[in-house]
A = this chain, B = another copy of it.
Amino acid sequence: MKKTTRPVTLADIGASIGMSAKTVSRVVNRDPNVSQATRRRVEAAIAATGFRPNLAARSLAADRSFLVGCFLVNTANFYYAELVRGAARACRRYGYHLVLEELDLQESVTDYYREHMSNIGHHGFLLAPPFCDDAALLDMLDEDGHRYVRVSPATQPGRAPSVYADDAGGVAALAEHLWQLGHRRFGIVSGPSGHLASAVRSHSFMESLYRLGCLPSDILSVEPDCWNPVVTGGRGAAIRMLGTGERPTAIFCYNDELAAGFIGYARDIGLSIPGDLAVAGFDDSEGARLIWPPLTTVHQPIVEMAERAIERLVTPQSAGDPSLMCGVELKIRGSTDPGAMSDPA
């Protein structure tokens, strides 16, 4: 940026009221060792000029910035959309800024970090799945002395501050709901094999059913082979799963988009939802409100989780307690239960 006018500096502010730049710096940084009178005079001068301390200079001198990094995978996805929204909102509330990095599912995060991000001097990082479970990435961040918060980690639970939801519990409640509706043959559309959350959810779904008396042979499982867009993966999974002889009567999908794709194909071949087939998702993201019939799903407070995660990153006091669990809630709607069809869209 070529600046046309020389920017106002700490020293300018100080000079204008006959004080040292350092005093102004102290006021800006809320140093307690400043007299009330001085503080007020400095604050007045700052307000009068609209002065804002230069971020680059601050980062350089203090070796700390107000940038929070966030990795995203290269997939249109409600989960990430909400995560970003919560993170941006919280960053803003605390005077930080959210820096987004989009990566392919295949590529090496550590390589990208080393080459393009290690020189930015982030204040910290928000690590959502699958990055929160990337041990190599965590190692590298640790090595560089960076702080980070993990969202919904599936491995090494105590490793760093984290925010997570009770995925397993929510899925267990869903399994019970389906069982009580009388379903006895089930299908699972899992998530990407790299996402450990997928393993957790699938595992919980199966274990819950076993406990209820379901046989392993009555649970079919497929992994979508297309993630872009996710909904197409759900459709593909349906094509494979519904082509078999004895088809399931109830399907659990790793997320809402997969469920939408699944439902689309099921309807195309003449199945009624939930009459012939019950379909459930996970997340209950706002975008999933478009799905018809309204989707039974496990609500996860994604926006709020992201906000909590950012708080832990930027407020010193919350550095103590390492793990925060957020509640999930089974939302029973029309896609599994006709009685819940009148649920507000």
Binding site for B on A (CB under 8 A): 1-4, 50, 52-57, 59-60, 63-65, 67, 72, 74, 76, 78, 81-82, 84-85, 88-89, 92, 95, 97-102, 114-123, 144-147, 229, 231-232, 235, 257, 260-261, 263-265, 267-268, 285-292, 342, 345
CB pair B60–A345 under 8 Å, yes or no, is no
Rounded to whole Å, the gap between the CB of A5 and the closest CB of chain B is 8
**Distance in Å from the Cβ of A78 to the closest Cβ of chain B?**
7
Bound-state CA distance A287–B345 (Å) is 16
Query: A50 and B114: CB pair below 8 A?
Result: yes
Q: Is B97's CB under 8 angstroms from A98's CB?
A: no
> Which residues of B are found within 8 Å of A289, using beta-carbon distances?
229, 231-232, 260
Bound-complex Cα distance A257 to B81 (A)? 15
Q: Are B88 and A121 in contact, CB atoms less than 8 angstroms apart? A: no
Q: Once the chains bind, are B287 and A1 in contact (CB under 8 Å)? A: no
> Given A231-B289, A257-B290, A290-B290, A88 and B101 touching (CB < 8 A)?
yes
Pairs across A and B, CB under 8 Å, 14 listed: A1-B65, A2-B63, A52-B119, A54-B60, A55-B119, A67-B99, A72-B85, A92-B101, A92-B116, A97-B101, A231-B345, A235-B345, A265-B345, A290-B290
Task: Note all chain B residues with C-beta closer than 8 A to A286.
Answer: 76, 229, 231
A89–B74 contact, CB under 8 A?
Answer: yes
Contact A264 B345 (CB under 8 A): yes
Whether B102 pairs with A88 at a CB distance below 8 angstroms is yes
Residues of B within 8 A of A146 (CB): 1
Inter-chain contacts of A263 with B (CB < 8 A): 292
Known: A88-B101, A235-B345, A268-B345. A63 touches B3 (CB 8 A): yes
Given the interface pairs A54-B60, A97-B101, the reply to whether A82 lies near B92 with Cβ below 8 Å is: no
The answer on a CB contact under 8 Å between B98 and A116 is no
Contact indicator A78/B261 (Cβ below 8 Å): no
Most chain B C-beta atoms within 10 Å of own C-beta, residue among A147, A264, A288: A264
Report the Cα distance A84→B115, complex, angstroms. 22
**Residue from A120, A261, A342 having most chain B Cβ neighbours under 10 A:** A120
Residues of B within 8 A of A97 (CB): 99-101, 116-117, 120
Complex Cα distance, B321 from A184, in Å, reads 63
Residue of B nearest to A75 (CB): B85
Which one, B232, B290, B342, contacts A260 given CB within 8 A? B290
Residue from A60, A114, A232 with most neighbouring chain B CB atoms (10 Å): A60
A84-B72 Cα distance, complex, nearest whole Å:
11
Query: Is the CB–CB distance between A56 and B50 below 8 Å?
Result: no
